[in-house]
Every structure is written in structure tokens, then in C-alpha cells.
Structure 1
Amino acid sequence: MDTSSQTKETVREEREENIPDDSAFEYRKVTVKFQISDTEMVAQVYPNCLTIAEIKQDIGKKFEVDPKFLILRQFEGEYDDDYRLYETCSNEFGIVEFCLEISDKAITEHGKIPELNLHVYYSKFRLADFITVHIPEDETTNTKSKDILVEIHNESILKPFLGGYKDKVTGIDYFDAFTQTGPPVEKIKTSGIYSRDTQTVLEHTKSIDTMIDSSTQAFGNSNNIINVESANDVIIIPRKYQPHDEKKKSESKFANIVLIQRNWRRYLWQRLIKEAAGEFRRLQTEQARREETRGDTYIDRFSNEAATKTFSSTREDFEMLMAQVGRWKQAETARIKKMFDGGPRIVELNLLLDKEIELINGIEHQKQIAKEANKEIKENKMLEKLSKPIKWIGYKNLVIEMDLLRTQRVRYLNSIYQELKQNTKCKSKRIETLNKAKKALENEDVTAQVNEILDLFEREKNMLLATKHCELDVLHKRQQLLFLDIIKYCKDRKPDKPETRMCDTCKCIKPINDFALRTRQTSIETCNRCFYLMNTTSVLDNSVFKAILRSIQRDERSRRTLSSYAFILQEEDIKYIICKIWHGHSILSKCSDIEDLRLPRWNKADDWSPWNCVCLTSAEARHHNKLNRLEDTYDEGIRKMIKNKHLLGRTAFKRLQAVETDFVESGEWWKVGLNQKAI
């Protein structure tokens, strides 16, 4: 038999010997000491009827350790959980001593070893310690020996921190020395104390009369006394006698007035606080909504750009694609120059040129498809406009419509034109449509187009009757083109001979309407097509500058300045201002993201112009518009730099003022506010 089994047998035999009878059992509290280490010990008081399991449960909560990992030893023997406290051994003073340990299985079940930390025991629970004091028997006084349970309270004060340092290696805090005295003792209060000290009254004699005799100047007899005033005299004038009730009433009235005024000021202050709090919450909500809207705007812009690049239909969409091709070519050229040299560089550049030609051809092919698709839409809009009655506003804002014979003719011919455009396979329906069209053209003036289209109708009719199957697409296109010219023809309207000019780039003579007009040019020399071809090689997207111009115009409309220069400038002018004058970056943060740049007013009191703007990011522009004094925010160096930029803008757009004068004096500026599509 090993030593552990012998120890358990010994403990079991002692338990059987110490089990008391039910009649002899006495309920009492016992002091229990837990020996944690050689220098650490805690004590608690428990009823002697508790089991070892209940004691483990209580001490485990105080040390924050699972009770199943705790072991209570006595005389090198371990007690089971069903043992009672009165079944254990106690010393001569009635104190039960245990050795408190952690079992070995706690290491295997958890990743870390639990500890019996006295800091946890004393810091979180603030429990009091208990000791048992044994008073021996005294024969002189005939007193028996007895044990007294003493509770020790921790009444230590919180010491102030007067300085120290922390060791970076060990992590131990070292504090400087300070006084160990407690807080000052309060003075003894006499309230509630019945003693001679508080009930004794000491009387003191105090002089209240003046110690210096003084005299006054008086003249006259005993009935009429005239007093001569001196500088130190105090004159007391008797007033009307006021009874005590009236005096109390007047004092209470004044107190009520003060109370009303105080409550009224409190009410005004509370109302002001509520209004300010409501305004603060409203501003917070508005700021959150603006931030969310700003984030949604960026997401919508990226999704719109992706959709535009995938399904391009307008000139701006194809300009965006050409700009993207230009940026791709620029990046690829830089990569080739960095990686290759000599013959390999020439080969890579040739391959890059072939890829660029292939991409441009694909864009041009897509452009032709979009042009054909938009051609039919333009024709329908033109026919719809020609067939609308004439409208004007008459007396008392009455809308008057007049349907002319010309508009009725256009509507009738438009219905036949739509039938001719339908590709029906039924020969009888097609022949019926041709006969209807021929009958409608009998009332038209005899022109070359009418004779030619009648001949084409007759030719198609003969081919339909003589053949079973034939291709008539080319014939249909020619018929539709001639019929559309007949619809647009008006005998009352004489065609004006337009003014023509020769383009210096393509050397072609074109009408004056086909030439590009810009605010910075001095003469009409480049047509729209050549100007467009010159700008397609740019790596910058003009839609970005168009968006910047729209934001400027939107801000000017909100300020009711419809005669501003912003409504005269075009996208190319905004591009020149940002890229040439401001060098494509913000004046403050040097941000070069063109999509995030804005051109707000520099001086909010003046209208927007190229010499009254500043290049900032969108966030900087929002803060700039909130400023009242520019001198308090911008230093002198930045203000001088901005002033130089304004001089460059005034020089570049020196002809803009003359154009603006014509724009205002002609009366066309008032129509700007009615353009809802540009908002």
C-alpha cells in the first residue's frame, strides 16, 4: 500500500472518531485559515456545518478560480467534497487550518495555469479578515477561558500620487515617498451631543457705545435749533410710518417679482437650450445626409462612367473613350521606354501603334452605328416639331393654338411616311401603301423630287407584280429620303443663301454655322469637325470640365447672378483655366485629381469670372465658401500667388468683357434662368 492510500485511511479513521452524536452537535462559526504559500495566508469564518465543496465554491469565487481545480489539504491528506467542517481537525484555539493548492489537471484542461492571486482577493471584494482571540482562564476573577471572534476592517485611505516611474523591463511601478498621515480630522460637531461642554453658556460683555466724545454745531434758542452740517455727519430723514403688515406685504411683493423674473429668465434659457439642441441635431442629421449623398454621388458617377464606356451613344461618350485610349497609349509608351532600348523598342512601339489603330477603328465603327441609330430619332423629332400647331399667349394669359394647313399637311404626309418605312412582306399591303402615297402626292407641287419618287413607286409596283422575290432595300431607302425632302419642302419659304467661309485646316468651304466659336479666339478660322479632331488626341476627358462648368453655373443661379461670365464660357475655356493657369492642381493641397477640382469664387461679393476664382478640391471649396474674411485664413504668400493667377486669367480672356457686354445688352441673358436641363 502506498503513502497516499495510507494517508486517506488515516483521515478516514480520524473522521469516524470525530463524528459527534446528534445530541452532542453544537452549531457555531469557525475561523478557517488558508495557507497559500509560506508568506501568504487568508482567513475566513464559516459555519461548522458547511461541506468542503461549499467552502471550495466560496473561496473559488473570491480568487476567480474554478472550484474543481482547488485542493484542501490537512496533515498532508486531501479531504473529499462531502466532508463537513466539524469533521476536520482544529488546533487548541479552535481554528481550522488548510493548505490551499491548485490541482495538476488544471494545467491540461486550460491553456494557462490558474493562480491564487491575493490582489484579486482583496481588490475586487474588499472582504474583511477574521481572527479568533483566545482568552485564558483567570483564577483571580473566576472567569473561564473563552474564544472571541474579531473582525479586522481595512480603513486605509487612498494615498495621492506624487510622482514615480515604471520599469520598462519588469513592468513594476515605483512611486516616490509621500506622507503616511491620513486626511485631517473633522471638527467635533455639537449637534446630537448632550454634555456639559455644549450646555454651558458663557457671557461676554461688549461695548457698543462710541469711545470718543464728539460735538455738533447748533445755533438758536431751545425752540428753534439750527444745526450746521459737517463733512462726517449722517443725516437721517424720517419717512412715513409703515405698519408691520404693509411692510411684510411690500417685501413679499418684491420677492414675488424677483421670483417671476427669475423663473422667466430660466424659461427663456431653457427654451434657448432646447432650440440650440434641436438645431444641433438637425445639423448633425443634415451633415450625415450630405455625407451619404456625397458617397452615393461618387458611386453613381463611377457606375455611369462604366455604362457610358460600355454603351456609348453621344459625342461626349466617344470623347471619353478617346481620352482613355490616349491615357493608355501614354502609359504604354512610358513602360516601353523604361523596359526596352534600340531595336526591341521600335518593335514594341510598332505593336503599340497597331493596337491603337485597332482601338480607334473600333470606336469609329461604334460611332457610325450610334450615328445611324440617332438619325431616326432626329428625323422623328423634326417631323413632330413641324406638325405641331402654332402657340402663343394672348389676352389674360390665354394660350392660343392655330393649326395651319402646313402643319396639317405635315401630319398627313408623316403618317404615310411611317407606313412606307414599315418592311411588310405582304405584296398586296405594300401595293396599297404605294397607291396611297401616289394619291397623296397628286396635290403637291410638281418638282424634281416628286417626279422621281413617283417613278420609283411605279418601278417597285412592277417588280412586285412581275417577280416572286427581289431585294428592294436600296429602293426603299431612296424613296424614304425623297419623301422626307417633300415633307420638309415649303413653297412659301425661300431658302436663304448662307454665309460661307474656308477652314484653314481642311481647306473646305463651309457655312458659317459649321465653324467653332470660342471666347479666346480673335477670328473664325477652324470648323467644328477639325476642332473636334484636334482635341480627340487629348488624354483629358472633356466631360470632367463640363461637369465643373455645370457646378459653377449652378452656384451662380443659386446666387441670382444670371449675367455672370460662367454662362458664356465653354468646356474648353474651363480646361484652359485649370490646366494652363492653375497647372491642374489645387492651390492649397496640390491635389492633381481633375475630377475632384472645383473653381469657386475667390471673393464672394463679386460675380464669378476667370479673374475671380480659385482652384480647390470639392472639400476645400465647401470650407472656402464659409469664410467671411480671406485675410484671416490665407497668408500673404498664397494671396499674392492667387492674384498673379487672376492677372493671367484677365490677360487670356481680355475679349470676354466685350462678349459679355453684347450678351447683356442684347437681352438674351434672361433666358439662362429658364434652361432647366442645364441645372
Structure 2
Amino acid sequence: MSEQTENEEQEVKDVKEENTDTNPQPGGSTAEQPPDVDREPGSDGEAVQAYRLTKDVLEAAEEAETQADLHNDVEQLREPQKTENVGNSIATDVPETMEEAETQADLSDDAEQLREQRKENVGNSTATGRVVEEQQSLMELGVRPHSSTRMEMSSTDPNTHPLRPLRPPEHDNMPDVITVRVQTDEDVFQEVVVEIERPRQQKAFLGGYRHRLTGAEYHHAAVQTPPKRRPDRGVVVFSRNTQTVELKSQVQQCAVNISTQMTGIGCYVSCMNDKLVTPGNYITADEYHDRRLRAVILLQSFARRWLAQQEVGRLRRERDRRMAWLELQERRRREEKEEQLRDRRHRWMNPQRREDFNLLYHALEKWRCEEEQRINSSLQGAERKAALCSLLEQETQLIAAIRCHRIAVQNNNYDKTVRNFLDKSAAPHQWRAADGRLIKMDSQHTVRARELRDLYNNINLSTVSQEQRLHVLMTLKHTVKEHACQLTQDIVDLINREVDLMTRGVKAASLEGLRKRISTLFLQYIKTPVFNPEVAKHLKVPQNPSQLKNNMFLCCGCHRYLHSANFSSSASARLSSQCRNCTGLDNIARSRDDFSCYKNILRRLRADEQRLNEEAKIPFLLQVEDVRYLVEVVWTSRSALHASSDLYNLVFIRWERQRDWSPWNCILLSKEETSAHMEVEDIHKAYEATFIRRIEHKHTLARRHFSQIAVMAEYLDSPPTAALGNQLVSKPITMATGKHATDTTLASAH
């Protein structure tokens, strides 16, 4: 058996050598170069190998027809099998042959069958050369399954779409099986073997885009990837059967006739298992529906009860929140009033400003009027005159005490005023940049003003040694000697005199007057624009004669020519005939009024309007005198609702909330009444017609007064003439009596 096998192997080698001589390798010089062919999807070799294999098969078939030897047929049968195992043939070109026969007798039958099959394949796989249309298939060209053909392919646009050979699977570096590490539980990993399946055919292009520069194509991943399949729930959904009622017919009649056995003569049927059935009450349809209705009503009652409890809880929370807000507002108003009273009491006990002293004089006048009224009502004759004389002496003493306290306050405030003046002149120039930063810049004038300020502070120091005092005096002497004038000469003479006295051993207490004169003259030196140019813009009296001439006015009280800043002005842009000092002196001697309450009303009005409308203008055009006229003349110093007369508790707010504040769109109320009025949406629905006509009449008076002022006339929105006449006729002007009537007459004349 082994010798037979060796003989067969030797014959196979001879056949291979013969085939090699007749069919040289493609790499040789005489080999025919195969054309570019397409490789079928799923094949194991390239197009070139398919072409070579086709030639070998054809030559082997021709040789099989001429050879008669059985052994040659066997070798030709085994040759394709070996070629297929090493990867040099295609399984679809040559069908697999039968296995090696177990006995020598079966070889001849197999050879005859193989020879007939090769002739049939060769006849079916031959195609004539012609141009193939684009839409023709291989079956139309005569190519049958398990056969081979030769085709030549070319691209219509080789530059844009060139033909590239496909990469064979054996050149891929990706292994067929990989190991993946998967985390199955916390800190638990498992290695899973994954087999990579290579696609048998290329994906169809379903969408994408092409790069304009490189020409590369990109496919959409969402289109190329199949969607995730939903798990089967076991129930058919979105079908007609699930949406359609299923109907069926069922027969209730028995198919077989039956009978029931009854107790009778000669027949006994036990009744141990029988049941006694008693019929109940018959329920009609109306009773059934009535029971359902009662059940529904019961459910609705419980549901409505729950909804009512929720609504009551909401209303209770709103009420508590409203009460808390009202309590907060009341506490805030009470604290504000207490703070106002404390501030007024502090101003009484420790007055520092002119308004504080006006408050003292106002309290003094109020006390004098009450005492005078008490004396006139209780005493008569000589006792009344003696009591009035005693009251006059007490008033004189109180006025003198207030005057002494005022002089002391002025002396104490002098140093503070001078210090503020020097700080303003020595401050650097500053402005806001575009990004909001504050930019500061020092000039030579500001540096000069800062040096003079520091020198003035050093001169006024009292707790210094004699050496330090001499050093400061020498510095001052060299500073003022830069300019030669009478003022600088007087300062130098005083400095030399103090130095001489200090060297003689004079005490510091004896030099206090001399040092005060030096400080006063040096302050005058600092306020001179020639020596300190930066101080010119902070002086009340301008240095330019033309400006001094235009802004100088004559005071009818003191008969002096003063700057316009010394006179008070109103919205009419007219200066009063008396300066501020004469007006204050006249107020102290006669009326003794306190205007701080009107200033507070104006300040609060401006703050409220600034919060509601940043572009409000009318409240900032009014002055204290205008507010006083509105309060005293137009609104008679009383609240419009409850007639409250506490001026420190009255405020101005809008009459119609949608319009800006103006003297003809305002109402005077107490602080407690403002919150209720600001919540009114429509004043014609909230107030009575009589009250509305009274408020409109006051607006008419204010419009008539402020229409005479040019700066206020442009903001007037005058009502129709007929309506104005009706208001004037229907509501006459009512003036108060006594002192208030006299003040009203004077204000109207003004």
C-alpha cells in the first residue's frame, strides 16, 4: 500500500512540473498579464489569482481528454484539491471532486464522471468578447453558477472615481478572535472571547457628504447603523385586533335533553344537600341610578370638602402674610416716627446747624404763645402785666442763651469748615473712565495746595516741642518769601517776633494770640489765588470782575451788595429781596418758623419719584418755599383724608398712580394713609364724587399758581376751559383765620 502511495505522489510531481513548463508564472517575462477584474464578495483570492486558475483549469480539461491513463486522471483530480488548500484557487470556479477511492476499482468510474463534468463547465464558462452594458447581469451574458468568466473594467471618470484594488482579507492585521475584559459587578471583571465577523459584502451608501477639497466621502453613522431593536413584550400592539372588540356567539341550550328526578310514590330523593333560596327585593333601574347618584354626591362632597380646606388654608396663609406685612409696615412707621422724635430731641439738646437753631426758636415761640394765652385767660389787671413782664424777661434770657450757644458752635465749626475747604482744594482731579474705574490725577496746582494744607495743619498743632515749632516757622517763612507783598511781609514779621519771644523763654500760653494771628494770615495767604491757584474755584466770591458784576445783588435788609449764592431762590427763578442772613434774622425776631419739615417732605418726594421714574424733573425744580406754599396755602397744612395736622408726618404722593407727580397731580396724606392710596387702581371707583371734586379744586389752585412760572409752564397739561370754570364756581376758596390766614395772605401776595 505504501509503494502504491509513493507511485501516486511521484506521478503528481511529474504532472506539476509539466504544468509549470507549459504555464509559466505571472512574474515571468512570457506570462500573460491579466486584466483588471472585480473580485466577488466573499472570495479568498484576488482577481489575478482567479484569472490564472481559470487558465489552469482549461488546460487541465484539454489534457484530460487526450490522456487515457487512469493514473493521470486521478492526479488531475487531486491537483485542484491541493491548489484550493493553499489559497491559489477559488472554490466557486471548480467544484469539489469526490474523495479518494478506497479501492483501485472505483477510480475508473470517477475519472469518467470528472471528465464529463469538466467538459460541461468549460462549455458553459466561455463568453465572447463584447462591450457589456451597465445594467446587464452575468446571467444575461451566459455565465452560469459555479463557473468563471473574464471581464475588463474601466472607470468613466478616472480622475474623480479611480478603480482601486480591494485589500485582501489575509492582509488585514485584525485577528479573528479577541479577548475583552468586561466588568460584571463592583470590582469584579470577566474575560470574554469575542469572534470578529467580517462582512461578506460592502455596505450600500445611504447618505453622507463629500469634502470639497480632498474629495473624501463621509457616511452618516445614524443612517448606516441599524436601529436598536425593541424587546418583544409578547403583546401585539398597534394592530386592529387590539383596538376592536372581540365578539363571539355562545349557545346556552343543552345539546342533549335531560330530566330532573323528583320525590314521588316509590321514589325517595334525599334533601340533605338541598339549599333554600329566598328571592330578594327587586331593584328597579331608577333605584339603581338613584343609588349611584347618591354615591357620586358623597364622593363629590368629600372632594369639595378637601378643596375647601385647601382654599381656606390658602386664604389663611394670605391673611397671615398680609397681617405680617401690615405689622411690619406699622412697626417701620413707628420706628421711623420714634427716630424722627429722637432726632428732633437731639437737635433741641445739641444744635449744630442753622436749621437746628430755627427749631429752637420755633419751640421758644410756641412756648411763648402758650404762656401768653394762659396768662391772658387766667390773670387780669396788674397781675397780668407783671406776668407778661416776667414772661418777656424769661424769653430774653432764653434768646441770649441760644445766641451764646450758637456763637460757641460757630467757633467749634470754624476749624471743621476750614479743614474741609483745604481738603477740597488739595483733592486730585478725578473722573469715571469708560469701564467704570475712578481715575485720579494730580497737577502742579493740586500738589501746591496739598503742601500748603499740610503746612497749615502743622502750624496749628499745639502739642509740639520748641525745636519742632522753630522748624515749622522756618519752613513757613521760606514758603511765603517766594512772593513779595504786604501780606507775606506781615507774616514774616510775626514769625520773627515769635522766634524772638521763644528764644527769650516766654511761655506758650502767652504766645497763643500771636500764633492765632500767624494762622489767620497764612489762611488768608492760602485763599489767595495768586499764591494757590487751585483755590480759585472753591471761593464764594469769583475773582473775575465781570462775573462779580453780573452776580452781585442789593439786599433790602442790610443794604449790601452780595453774591447771588447768598440769596434764596424758588421755582420762579426769582431771588428774594433779602439775603439769607437777613431772612434768618427776621425769622428769629418775628415769625420763628421751622422749615425743616418742608425740607423733609421735599426730600422724601424726590426719593419716591426717583424710584418710580428716573427721568422725573418737576420735583427737582421745586424749592422749599414752593413746597411750603403747596402745604400751607393749597392743602391748608392738613391731610386730605383724615385732616391730620402733624407736618412731620405728612407726605406728598401721586393722585393718579399712572401719571408722574406734579403740583396738579398730587395729594397730601399722612404716612399711614399712603400705602392704602397707592393700591387704588381707579380713583373714580374708590372715592366719592364730592371728595374727587375737592381734590381737583386744589389741583386747579396749584395749576394757576405754577402757570405763572416759565420753567413750570411747559409741563402743564391744562384741562378744558369749561371744566376749569365749573371747578372754580362749584368750590370757593376757604381761608383760615388768625395767624395762619395772615401768613397765607402774605404768601399769596408774594
TM-score when normalising by structure 2 = 0.50
- Alignment partner, residue 298 of structure 2: none
Letter in 2 for 1:456: L
Task: Answer yes or no: is 1:534 the counterpart of 2:572.
Answer: no
Q: Deviations over 1:218-272 (max 9, x none)?
A: xxxxxxxxxxxxxxxxxxxxxxxxxxxxxxxxxxxxxxxxxxxxxx999999998
Task: Answer yes or no: is 1:653 the counterpart of 2:706.
Answer: yes
Q: Deviations over 1:578-634 (max 9, x none)?
A: 222222222222222222222221122222222222222222222111111112222
Q: CA offset at residue 312 of structure 1?
A: 0.8
From the CA coordinates, give the structure whose radius of gyration is larger.
Answer: 2
Flag the 1:567–1:265 CA change in 2: closer, same or farther, 3 A: farther
Task: Answer yes or no: is 1:482 the counterpart of 2:535.
Answer: no
Contact 1:504–1:525 under 8 Å retained in 2: yes
Given candidates 454, 460, 464, the residue that maps to 2:492 is 454
Q: Indicate the SS of the match to 2:581.
A: helix
Runs of 4 or more above 6 Å deviation: 200-204, 264-277
Flag the 1:648–1:203 CA change in 2: closer, same or farther, 3 A: closer
- Alignment partner, residue 316 of structure 1: 355
Flag the 1:323–1:273 CA change in 2: closer, same or farther, 3 A: same
Q: Deviations over 1:161-212 (max 9, x none)?
A: xxxxxxxxxxxxxxxxxxxxxxxxxxxxxxxxxxxxx9676999x9xxxxxx
Letter in 2 for 1:568: L
Name the CA distance, whole Å, in 2 between partners of 1:384 and 1:201.
Answer: 110
Q: Indicate the SS of the match to 1:615.
A: strand
Given candidates 605, 621, 627, the residue that maps to 1:568 is 621
Contact 1:556–1:564 under 8 Å retained in 2: no
Given candidates 547, 558, 566, the residue that maps to 1:514 is 566
Flag the 1:201–1:640 CA change in 2: closer, same or farther, 3 A: closer
Task: Answer yes or no: is 1:473 the counterpart of 2:512.
Answer: yes
- In the alignment, structure 1 segments of 5+ residues that lack a partner are 1-197, 207-263, 663-679
Q: Indicate the SS of the match to 1:599.
A: strand
Letter in 2 for 1:604: R
Contact 2:706–2:713 under 8 Å retained in 1: no
Name the CA distance, whole Å, in 1 between partners of 2:487 and 2:453.
Answer: 17
The total of aligned residue pairs comes to 408
Name the CA distance, whole Å, in 2 between partners of 1:201 and 1:604.
Answer: 76
- Alignment partner, residue 253 of structure 2: none
Q: Indicate the SS of the match to 2:605.
A: helix
- Alignment partner, residue 419 of structure 1: 458
Contact 1:561–1:607 under 8 Å retained in 2: no
Name the CA distance, whole Å, in 2 between partners of 1:375 and 1:512.
Answer: 23
Flag the 1:660–1:546 CA change in 2: closer, same or farther, 3 A: farther
Letter in 1 for 2:648: E
- Alignment partner, residue 179 of structure 1: none
Q: CA offset at residue 546 of structure 1?
A: 1.7
Letter in 1 for 2:605: I
Name the CA distance, whole Å, in 2 between partners of 1:506 and 1:203.
Answer: 117
Q: Deviations over 1:12-33 (max 9, x none)?
A: xxxxxxxxxxxxxxxxxxxxxx
Letter in 2 for 1:325: L
Task: Answer yes or no: is 1:495 the counterpart of 2:533.
Answer: no
Contact 1:319–1:541 under 8 Å retained in 2: yes
Task: Answer yes or no: is 1:556 the counterpart of 2:609.
Answer: yes
TM-score when normalising by structure 1 = 0.55
Contact 2:566–2:579 under 8 Å retained in 1: yes
Contact 2:644–2:670 under 8 Å retained in 1: yes
- Alignment partner, residue 183 of structure 2: none
Contact 1:309–1:317 under 8 Å retained in 2: yes
Q: For 1:95-174, what aligned pairs fall within 5 Å after superposition?
A: none
Q: Indicate the SS of the match to 1:472.
A: helix
Q: CA offset at residue 395 of structure 1?
A: 6.1
Contact 2:333–2:672 under 8 Å retained in 1: no
- Alignment partner, residue 545 of structure 1: 598
Q: Indicate the SS of the match to 1:614.
A: strand
Flag the 1:644–1:427 CA change in 2: closer, same or farther, 3 A: same
- Alignment partner, residue 637 of structure 1: 690
Q: CA offset at residue 409 of structure 1?
A: 1.7
Name the CA distance, whole Å, in 2 between partners of 1:557 and 1:626.
Answer: 19
Flag the 1:438–1:265 CA change in 2: closer, same or farther, 3 A: farther
Flag the 1:563–1:660 CA change in 2: closer, same or farther, 3 A: farther
Name the CA distance, whole Å, in 2 between partners of 1:461 and 1:587.
Answer: 72
Question: Share of identical aligned residues, percent?
Answer: 26
Flag the 1:655–1:373 CA change in 2: closer, same or farther, 3 A: farther
Flag the 1:660–1:454 CA change in 2: closer, same or farther, 3 A: farther
Name the CA distance, whole Å, in 1 between partners of 2:645 and 2:434.
Answer: 57
Moved more, 334-343 or 450-459: 334-343
Q: CA offset at residue 427 of structure 1?
A: 3.2
Flag the 1:655–1:419 CA change in 2: closer, same or farther, 3 A: same
Given candidates 647, 667, 672, the residue that maps to 1:594 is 647
- Alignment partner, residue 348 of structure 1: 387
- Alignment partner, residue 608 of structure 1: 661
Contact 1:601–1:614 under 8 Å retained in 2: yes
Flag the 1:566–1:395 CA change in 2: closer, same or farther, 3 A: closer
Task: Give RMSD over aligned pairs.
Answer: 3.4
Q: Indicate the SS of the match to 1:600.
A: strand
Q: For 1:345-384, what aligned pairs fall within 5 Å after superposition?
A: 345-384=384-423
Name the CA distance, whole Å, in 2 between partners of 1:275 and 1:201.
Answer: 50
Q: Indicate the SS of the match to 1:505.
A: coil
Given candidates 424, 428, 444, the residue that maps to 2:467 is 428
Moved more, 545-554 or 398-407: 398-407
Name the CA distance, whole Å, in 2 between partners of 1:551 and 1:308.
Answer: 20
